[in-house]
Amino acid sequence: MQYINREHIDKLEKLYRVNLINSLSGYKSANLIATKSKDEITNVAIFSSVIHLGSNPPLLGFILRPTSVVRNTYDNLMSTKQFTINHVNKHIIKEAHQTSAKYDGNISEFEKTHLTEEYKADFFAPFVKEANIQIGCKLVNNYFIEENQCRMIVGEVEHLFIEDDIQQEDGWLNLEKAETVTINGVDAYAEAKLLDRLSYAKPNKKLTSILNEEK
């Protein structure tokens, strides 16, 4: 097994280090976060850091890189308090990845990537029409991370749009049916294959398969 220590990590070439460290946490979520400025300029960018923070109230979070340079997503969030989270599926990975390019603030990534703005539920921020799972959030807080100057953005879920046949009777979303993809590192996209759903774990109780209803 290969061994790498911290001293070695610090001496790595920048891109090599980025690829290595960004792969360490395992497969990550792939989402397009869309906002709109008060001047009606839309912005959409791919994020691999969206996480579940709680179910009651329903909260999601994501990490924004340092705002020492212009961050259109951050500026729009602060001024409008609204954003959408849209699952990337296997049919739009190239379009989604292209949103990571550094366009000028007066240029909408929707126009440059051929993704489609969609407005509904009287929500100010645009949804991504091509996404099979779309989430409208209001900004509730943001936390400065002193160690690396990033920010944790916290949003409360206000609107959900889910394509038919994805949600199961118990509320669970089958992301394989949604064709949602995951991110490995910073530039690799993968399909997730559902292996099983297991029963609630309790001491001294045998686990069973929810999918196959095994005893």
- pTM comes to 0.94
Residue 191 C-alpha from the chain's centroid: 15
**pLDDT for res 69:** 72
**Residue 40, both tokens:** 């009606």
**pLDDT for res 214:** 39
Dihedral pair phi/psi, residue 65, rounded to 5°:
-65, 165
The CA–CA distances, whole Å, from 41 to 3, 75, 108 equal 48, 12, 6
Report CA torsion sign: 108, 109, 114, 116. Answer: negative
- Is 129's pLDDT higher than 90? yes
Residue 103 CA to residue 109 CA, distance in Å, equals 7
Note the pLDDT tens digit of each residue in 92-108: 999 999 999 988 888 99
Mean pLDDT rounded to a whole number for the chain = 94
- Over residues 148-174, mean pLDDT: 96
Give percent of the chain above pLDDT 70: 99
Residue 97 CA to residue 147 CA, distance in Å, equals 27
Count of CB atoms within 10 A of residue 143's CB?
A: 11
**pLDDT for res 215:** 38
Residue type, 127: F
**Residue 202, both tokens:** 């309790």
CATH 2.20.25.240 fits 26-191, yes or no: no
Element (H, E) at 161: strand 150-162
Element (H, E) at 141: strand 133-145
Domain edges within the chain: 26-191
Residue labelled with tokens 């923070």: 53
Element (H, E) at 101: none
- Is 158's pLDDT higher than 70? yes
pLDDT confidence bin for 84, thresholds 50/70/90: very high
- Over residues 169-187, mean pLDDT: 96
Note the pLDDT tens digit of each residue in 42-73: 999 999 999 999 999 999 999 999 977 778 89
